Chains A and B, each alone.
Chain A
């Protein structure tokens, strides 16, 4: 198949905001790519209002990944500038014609998002304020990028064949930069 489009998002955060920021970003991303009917809500984060919705499975997946990421980051030296990468893939189920596998369909990734996470710290209170500002700005830019990208690049979205549930399985993977791929598939 063709290479699915890969979109990169840069996320800047600090230790405290790590899970909140990432969760916000991921939720926003899924908000744009999760095609089941959902009731939107908003959630404020760092002076931004992000859309959110309730999806138990998604939340569970996200939480699991973030926990792993946090563990990973804490294991590593807590120096400023830690990086990690999250990878979100959207699949579509394509019926497989092949015989002997027995599987009727296969999952084909039609879109991939890479979230580069950078964790920064600060050394003084003054620095903290500037760091926070940077985080906010970056979050704003990232969310904006999600919105524009998702709304503009929609021609490659596969047709929705089912009306119930999520037609597109997704996978959230944690990929420590340059390290082993601790891929955990959250295939649902």
Chain B
């Protein structure tokens, strides 16, 4: 027919009767060719969904099951059990049905001549060829071939039926006309080609095909989470409003996030493990990740970070679990994320550090974190990194990394899921954070660290929000509200860190766990933070941005903090044993503090930034007085670190110290939390390690801070020094002079003093300014240079806030 096509061997046997027989005797029956969608390769966790015209997705697998049940064809193990054919038929969704028929000749006398038949057949087959390219099934197939993601799961198959058999089977089950979603009335459309008259009869080709072939494979959890997300969105909105009362700065947001995460931290120690074990499927939907980790996602968990509200919600709903899980995840994510941002100079020192640390942590832990950040390294980071991340979770402004850090300790536990959850929660928060970020900044006092966390926690994108410092008070308020909620919920779980700070609601247990984790991870974290620290040098704003990129981190850290540091830490303890417990203790305390701080923050947005820091700190070190979460943006990121650090104990602090300012913040926080001292947060970060946290967060901080840079041990020493400095600073809300904070006593083992300074400066700045942005700018100016690795460091160098100015 003048159409050159390749010969096809498929179905050669099946087509025998039609190919070989002549057209008269035996009369060929109708040739029916069905194209179907083979779903046998879907794993149990995957579901086939179809998108209807309203962009809503419907679970096809379920629908099919129901239909099969109704039709009585569901024979148990649908996959080839007893009635294999029926079972298989049930699995198949018919996409097209072609009927090729030769009707009986009606009048031989009028049959056209053969050339005419051929001519018309040419036209017919040309039309057939063209039409095939227009069919939805073809487009579906083309889409499948382009998207390599699920090519193995969905297959399009073809089968041959004889008309006689078909008539029988279609009565029982018509795979073509089954509506797959409500409102799908006319499932199939018909088309018929012009018939060709021939001496043998009238040759017709007709087809019925599904109009809607918009099939996709989704993870079952994703579907669930999406539902949750929707819920969460609504749920979170009000809370976020409240939170956004204060600072518009990203810091505030970060703080808020941190708070949130912090609260989460204690929850999910188990998640920590999961996180670390998470593969680096950051990109994968959170759900899949969650699934991967087999974490009991409480809520949406899996929901992609994109849905911040939902994620938050889920976090809330299952704070403990979620937090843990999500924390871990987000943290891990963040960690990874933070790493990236850190690399970029844009990250402010503090945030960067946090992020960096988070990144590392996040990476490890957030395999499943839905944080959107690209977490390439997530998988790479081991729990230890988490720890470090956590330790470094200095409340740097909104650095997501913070959150990431916190999770680290938590991540110790296989709370990969929790991380995810947390991440998702943050994801949902993102929107809030963006606006809230700025707001949370305002919240600095409450959750300086948190803000950073939040910002960081927020999906990478969201972090940007924080970074942007959208001065949306509303968001801040919302976040605050959320934090409050969390805090409330957490109060029970969270142990107050002693500082009597409300923020110190963090459960001591979580803290301890966290701290332990931190310890274990501190070592790793340190290394990580070092890399991360590079970034922190960037201006706080950038850090916030970075945070965004590493929302996971922030979240994770935050979460990790909240989660019982003890538990999470335990798994990771082995990682960073080097660091004296002080750090870990401090860390945990810090976290607790931080958490509490966050909570405090939530509750009292206007509270000084230090408050927030304190909270964070509290979380970390029960013993240490809550450090004020530095309101300054810088802290936010730090905070995250500190948060994470806490669990890790000094080690992390030391690690993070160098690596990122966040560390400095992190540990410092706890102490400051109690003191609600703005400056404190800085210190808090520093030495979160000192579990003993010499009561004063400062000591903690000092220890941490210094420790971070140097390693755990130094922390101790620095702790003491910190005490001097930080305590003063921490205790004293006003730490404007970074230098003062820094107190060389901190002597971070290496760039300790500088870092401390930096930290303090940052915290001061953050607190004082309550606007991350400003800080960022400052930081950026001054801090950029200092140390990409350690924001703190840079801070320290430039610190002198006053001197820094530029930062």
By a beta-carbon cutoff of 8 Å, the part of chain A in contact with chain B is 28, 31-32, 35-40, 42, 44, 47-51, 140, 143-144, 146-148, 150-152, 154, 157, 159-160
A143 to B126, CA, bound (A): 13
Cβ contact within 8 Å between B194 and A38: no
Q: Which residues of B contact A47 (CB under 8 A)?
A: 139
A152 & B194 in contact (Cβ 8 Å cutoff): yes
CB pair B194–A49 under 8 Å, yes or no, is no
Give the residue name and chain of the B residue nearest to A161 (CB): B115
User: What are 7 A-B interface contacts by the 8 Å CB criterion?
Assistant: A51-B130, A143-B130, A154-B123, A157-B120, A159-B115, A159-B116, A160-B118
* Minimal Cβ-Cβ distance residue in B for A30: B126
Q: List the 7 closest pairs (A to B, CB-CB), nearest first.
A: A49-B133, A151-B127, A39-B4, A37-B2, A151-B194, A152-B194, A154-B123
Q: Of all chain B residues, which has the CB nearest A140?
A: B134
Residues of A within 8 A of B193 (CB): 151
The reply to whether A35 and B134 form a contact with Cβ atoms under 8 Å apart is: no
With contacts A40-B3, A143-B134, A154-B123 taken as known, whether A51 is within 8 angstroms of B115 at the C-beta atoms is no
Q: Across the interface, do B2 and A146 meet the contact criterion of CB distance under 8 Å?
A: no
Chain B residues, CB < 8 A from A40:
3-5, 126, 129
Is there an interface contact between B194 and A37, defined as CB atoms closer than 8 Å? no
A37 x B3 contact (CB < 8 A)? yes
CB distance from B320 to the nearest CB of A (A): 46
A150 B2 Cβ-Cβ under 8 A: no
In angstroms, Cα B126 to Cα A39, docked, is: 11
Q: What's the least CB distance linking A150 to chain B, in Å?
A: 6
- The interface residues of chain B lying within 8 Å CB-to-CB of A144 are 134
**How many Å lie between the Cα of A147 and that of B130 in the bound state?**
7
What DSSP secondary structure best describes chain A's contact surface? mixed
Chain A's closest residue to B123 (CB) is A154
Interface positions, chain B 1-50, Cβ under 8 Å from A, are: 2-5
The total of chain B residues at the interface (CB under 8 A) is 24
CB atoms of B119 and A32 under 8 A apart? no
Is B122's CB within 8 Å of the partner chain A? yes
Chain A residues with Cβ below 8 Å from B129 are 31, 40, 51
CA distance A38 to B126 in the complex (A): 10
A49 touches B134 (CB 8 A): yes
- What are the residues of chain A within 8 A of B133 when measuring CB–CB? 42, 48-51
Q: Which residues of A contact B126 (CB under 8 A)?
A: 31-32, 40, 51, 150-151
Known A154-B194, A157-B119, A160-B119: A146·B130 in contact at CB below 8 Å: yes
A16 to chain B, nearest CB (A): 22
Is B142 part of the binding interface, using a Cβ–Cβ cutoff of 8 Å?
yes
The distance in angstroms between the C-alpha atoms of A44 and B141, with both chains bound, is 14
> Closest residue of chain B to A43, judged by CB?
B133
Closest to B124 in A: A151
B 120-171 contacts with A by CB, 8 A? 120, 122-124, 126-127, 129-131, 133-134, 138-139, 142
Pick from A32, A44, A50, A159: contact of B123, CB below 8 A.
A32
- Known pairs A152-B194, A154-B194; A48 contacts B130 (CB<8 A): no
Chain B residues with CB below 8 A from A154, complex form: 119-120, 123, 194
Given A37-B4, A51-B126, 20 other A-B contacts at CB below 8 A?
A31-B126, A32-B126, A38-B2, A38-B3, A39-B4, A44-B142, A47-B139, A49-B134, A50-B130, A51-B129, A140-B134, A146-B130, A147-B130, A147-B131, A150-B123, A151-B127, A154-B119, A154-B194, A159-B116, A160-B115
Say whether B130 contacts A31, CB under 8 Å: yes
A28–B132 alpha-carbon span in the complex (Å): 13
Task: Give, as a whole number of angstroms, the nearest-CB distance from B115 to chain A.
Answer: 6
Contact with A along B89-129 (1 / 0, CB 8 A): 00000000000000000000000000110111011101101
Given A40-B5, A49-B142, also A157-B130 (CB < 8 A):
no
- Contact residues in B for A140 (Cβ distance below 8 Å): 134
A105 CB to closest chain B CB (Å) equals: 19
CA distance A47 to B130 in the complex (A): 14
Residue from A32, A44, A140 with most neighbouring chain B CB atoms (10 Å): A32
- Contact partners of B124 in chain A: CB under 8 A: 151
Closest A residue to B133 using CB positions:
A49
A150 and B193 CA atoms in complex are apart in Å by 10
**Chain B residues, Cβ within 8 Å of A35:** 2, 119, 122
Minimum distance in angstroms from A167 CB to a CB of chain B: 9
A151's partner among B4, B116, B123 (CB-CB below 8 A) is B123
Residues in B with CB closer than 8 Å to A159 are 115-116, 119
A5 to chain B, nearest CB (A): 14
Say whether A32 contacts B3, CB under 8 Å: no
Give Cα A38–Cα B4 distance, bound, in whole angstroms: 6
- B120 (CB) vs chain A CBs: closest residue: A154
C-alpha gap A148/B127 in the complex (Å): 7
Q: Name the contact of B2 in the complex, choosing from A36, A42, A143 (C-beta under 8 A).
A: A36
| Max count, chain A CB within 10 A of own CB: residue among B5, B127, B129, B138 | B127
Task: Output the nearest chain A residue to B126 by Cβ-Cβ distance.
Answer: A32
Closest chain A residue, CB of each to CB of B113: A159
What is the CB-to-nearest-CB distance from A51 to chain B, in angstroms, rounded to a whole number? 5
